[in-house]
Chains A and B, each alone.
Chain A
Amino acid sequence: ELKVEQNPLFLSMQEGKNYTIYCNYSTTSDRLYWYRQDPGKSLESLFVLLSNGAVKQEGRLMASLDTKARLSTLHITAAVHDLSATYFCAVDPPGHKYIFGTGTRLKVLA
C-alpha cells in the first residue's frame, strides 16, 4: 500500500523556536513536494525536491530529501505567527499521481 505519513500531526510551538516536520513514504518516488494550506484555502507550493540529498530553503523554511531512507524533513527556524498553517508533503511515484501525506497542523504562539 502506498502511504505517506507525516509526524507530528499537530504542532504547537512558541515564536522564535525551531522545529522539524518529518515525512515518510513507503514507495520509490523521484521527487517530493511540500505544500502549505491556510484554513479554508487552497494549496500553495513551497518546495519541489528532485533528488537524493536535495536541500532547498526559503525564508525560515528548509526542506531536505533522503530517497534512500524515504524521508523528507521540513525544518522551521525561528518560527513566526505567519507560519501557522497546515503543511503537506506529497510524492509522485512511477505509475501514480500525487499521494499526499496526512498533513501537519502548525500553530505558532506569540
Chain B
Amino acid sequence: DAGVTQSPTHLIKTRGQQVTLRCSPKSGHDTVSWYQQALGQGPQFIFQYYEEEERQRGNFPDRFSGHQFPNYSSELNVNALLLGDSALYLCASSPAGAGRYGDTDTQYFGPGTRLTVL
C-alpha cells in the first residue's frame, strides 16, 4: 500500500517564477491538505481539498492556489515566487471525516518538496 507521494523532491526557482507541486494521497484517502514548513518552524496550513473543491484555507495569499483531480491527487501552484516562499511543502492525506470517527483518523504526510527560491 503506497503512502502519500509527492513530486518533485527538490526544486529551485527564481523570484517571480511560478511553480507546481504534486501530491498523490494514500490509498483510500480522498482529502488532501497542503502545508508550508519554513526552516526551524512548524508546518503552516495552506488549504485543504475534498471532492475537488477547496474546503478550508489558511492565512496564505491568493498567489497560492490548488487543484484536486477526480483520482484525489492534488496540485499546489504558487505564482510570483518570493524569497520567503522557500520552504518544505508537505502534503497530507486523510479519509473523509478524519478526526470525527475515532483515533485512527489522522493525517498521513508525504515526504515533502523542498522549494528554494533564489
Contact = CB atoms under 8 A, between A and B. Distances in A.
Nearest to A88: B42
Interface stretch (B11-19, B66-74, B79-87, B104-112): B104-112
Interface string B75-118: 00000000000000010100000010011111111111000000
A35 B40 CA distance: 15
A75 interface: no
Interface in A85-108: 88, 90, 92, 96-103
A36 to B, nearest CB: 11
Interface in B33-55: 33, 35, 40-45, 48
Task: Indicate the size class of the contact surface on chain B.
Answer: 20 to 34
B106 A45 contact: yes
Interface of A: 4, 30-31, 33, 35, 41-45, 48-50, 88, 90, 92, 96-103
13 contacts: A4-B42, A30-B99, A33-B106, A41-B112, A42-B90, A42-B111, A48-B103, A50-B103, A88-B42, A96-B45, A97-B48, A100-B44, A103-B40
